[in-house]
């Protein structure tokens, strides 16, 4: 039995992981489950899976959670620090599936203990990539990418011979606005932005997919996960989301991982690693798909991708600034306070205005993150 903890158990990734656990009851024993606000879903998950501990981030929900779980024998805790402690608990696999920079401290907490971490929370690597990879080296932890592109690359990357790799090519669906004009995007609604053509995901990452910021964050994520330099990273639009990413070798061979667009495949891969386990995903039928298309990304209609590329090249505090400003702008867009195109312009303005310090500690990251949030929030108010 593998002992598993899930940080962000109530989210889109968390729920998919629960589905896999339900179908493989004999393979997993559940340790700690965490959530932000949704006490009911957290309590149901903890009871169903007989978890040892359930933690809710919002301390105001502590009593409600306690009531829901009374008599179950499941321990209950609340608050951000309790989530970090939950992440540090003895476990064979920790799924990091909190959304946003809020996942950084909990993910680092698991890494410090040398755990095997299934990383869905890309924002933590974006804002603290060097710190995280150094901590991984120091503790002997292992990061298994859950993001579908990085999971695909992980499956075809020859880690024993990194010098034989020419480049990594991340595929992007292009999102719901792939064929929209800038004029049409200007008045795009949150409902239109979260309606992803191929994947069903949480609201934040769905908007990131619509702006292509998601692919930008993934470039930074790939840079930290794989031994490549910035010029070896490339992005290609692939509307069918069947080829999940590719690795090109120096002899011209291109290896790819393919599958139906269902996150339960990469989640199952990480959960079962180094074995494999069955996942109840629709089988890929290439004759039905019939056609696979590939196009260059449009950097004019999707400026977020270029901003992320620049932030990656700039290094230091730029990626954390990009990420924090994006989180603020996406939340404001989802709230109807700014327009769709304002997201990238707020990120761009924040990157221009914030002074870049170097990042050595998690406290440094939090300061950069907070400064960027203050600046971006101010920009949101001015646009509103």
Contact residues for Mg ion (CB under 5 A)? 147-149
Specify whether the CB–CB gap between 44 and 16 falls below 8 A. Answer: no
Determine which residue in the list 20, 43, 169, 205 makes contact with ligand NAD, applying CB under 6 A.
205
Q: Note whether 372 and 118 are within 8 A (CB).
A: no
* Shortest spacing between CB 75 and ligand NAD, in angstroms: 17
Q: How far is the CB of 114 from ligand NAD (least distance, A)?
A: 22
Which of Mg ion, ligand NAD, none binds 211 (CB below 5-8 Å, type-dependent)? none
Q: Are 227 and 148 in contact (CB under 8 A)?
A: no
- Given ligand NAD, Mg ion, none, residue 261, with its beta carbon under 5 to 8 Å by kind, binds none
Given ligand NAD, Mg ion, none, residue 87, with its beta carbon under 5 to 8 Å by kind, binds none
Question: Which of these segments, 10-18, 179-187, 289-297, 324-332, binds ligand NAD (CB under 6 A)?
Answer: 10-18
Q: What is the DSSP string of 104-144?
A: HHHHHHHHHTT-EEEE--HHHHHHHHHHHHHHHHHHT-EEE
199 lies in the binding site for ligand NAD (CB under 6 A): yes
Q: How far is the CB of 79 from ligand NAD (least distance, A)?
A: 10
Residue choice 120, 212, 225, 376 for contact with ligand NAD (CB under 6 A): 120
Q: How many residues interact with ligand NAD (rule CB under 6 A)?
A: 27
Given the complex with ligand NAD, which of 124 and 232 has the nearer CB atom? 124
Work out which of 5, 10, 209, 350 binds ligand NAD, going by CB under 6 A: 10
CB closer to Mg ion out of 84 and 218: 218
Token digits of residue 111: 């890494």
Site for ligand NAD in 266-325 (CB under 6 A): none
- DSSP sequence for 240-270: T--EEEEEEETTS-EEEEE--S-THHHHHHH
What angle is formed at CA 59 by the lines to CA 105 and CA 88, rounded to 5 degrees?
35
Phi, psi of 216 (to 5 degrees): -65, -45
Q: Which two tokens stand for residue 195?
A: 């309606």
Contact of 269 with 16, CB cutoff 8 Å: no
Dihedral-angle region of residue 336 (phi above 0 means left; psi in -120 to 50 means alpha; beta otherwise): left
Residue in 123, 262, 327, 349 binding ligand NAD, rule: CB under 6 A: 123
* Of the residues 4, 5, 8, 349, which one makes contact with ligand NAD according to CB under 6 A: 8
Q: Which of 61, 68, 122, 215 binds ligand NAD (CB under 6 A)?
A: 122
Give all strands of the β-sheet with 243-249 in edge-to-edge order.
Answer: 233-237, 165-172, 243-249, 254-258
Q: Based on CB atoms, which residue is closest to Mg ion, 45 or 237?
A: 237
Nearest to 87 by CA among 118, 63, 65, 66: 118
174 near ligand NAD, judged by CB under 6 A: no
What distance in Å separates the CA atoms of residue 279 and residue 269, rounded to the nearest whole number? 9
Output 86 or 246, the one with its CB closest to Mg ion: 246
Note whether 120 and 147 are within 8 A (CB): yes
| Residues at the contact surface with ligand NAD, assessed by CB under 6 A | 8-14, 35-36, 38, 57, 83, 97-99, 102, 120-123, 147, 199, 201-202, 204-205, 263
């Amino acid at each position: 039995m593998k002992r598993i903890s899930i940080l962000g158990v109530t989210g889109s990734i968390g729920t998919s992981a629960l589905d896999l656990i339900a179908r493989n009851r004999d393979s997993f024993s559940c340790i700690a489950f965490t959530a932000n606000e949704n006490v009911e879903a957290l309590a149901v998950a903890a009871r169903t899976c007989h978890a040892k501990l359930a933690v809710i981030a919002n301390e105001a929900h502590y009593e409600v959670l306690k009531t829901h779980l009374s008599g179950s024998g499941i321990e209950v805790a609340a608050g951000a620090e309790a989530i970090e402690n939950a992440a540090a608990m003895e476990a064979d696999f920790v799924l990091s599936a909190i959304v946003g920079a809020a996942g950084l401290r909990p993910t680092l907490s698991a890494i410090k203990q040398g755990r095997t971490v299934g990383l869905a929370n890309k924002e933590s690597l974006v804002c603290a990539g060097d710190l995280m990879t150094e901590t991984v080296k120091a503790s002997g932890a292992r990061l298994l990418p859950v993001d579908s592109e990085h999971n695909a690359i992980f499956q075809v990357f020859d880690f024993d011979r990194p010098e034989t790799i020419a480049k990594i090519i991340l595929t992007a669906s292009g999102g719901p606005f792939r064929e929209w004009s800038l004029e049409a995007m200007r008045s795009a609604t949150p409902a239109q932005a979260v309606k992803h053509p191929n994947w069903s995901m949480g609201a934040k990452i769905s908007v990131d997919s619509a702006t292509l910021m998601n692919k930008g964050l993934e470039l930074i994520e790939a840079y930290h996960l794989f031994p490549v330099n910035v010029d070896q990273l490339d992005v290609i639009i692939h509307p069918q989301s069947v080829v999940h990413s590719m690795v090109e070798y120096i002899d011209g061979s291109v290896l790819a991982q393919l599958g139906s667009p269902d996150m339960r495949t990469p989640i199952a891969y990480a959960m079962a690693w180094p074995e494999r386990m069955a996942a109840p995903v629709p089988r890929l039928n290439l004759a039905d798909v019939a056609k696979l298309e590939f196009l260059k990304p449009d950097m004019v209609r999707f400026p977020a991708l270029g901003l992320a590329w620049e932030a990656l090249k700039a290094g230091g505090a730029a990626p954390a600034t990009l990420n924090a400003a994006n989180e603020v702008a996406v939340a404001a867009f989802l709230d109807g306070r700014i327009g769709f195109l304002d997201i990238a312009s707020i990120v761009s303005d924040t990157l221009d205005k914030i002074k870049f310090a170097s990042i050595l500690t998690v406290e440094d990251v939090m300061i950069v993150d907070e400064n960027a949030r203050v600046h971006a929030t101010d920009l949101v108010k001015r646009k509103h």
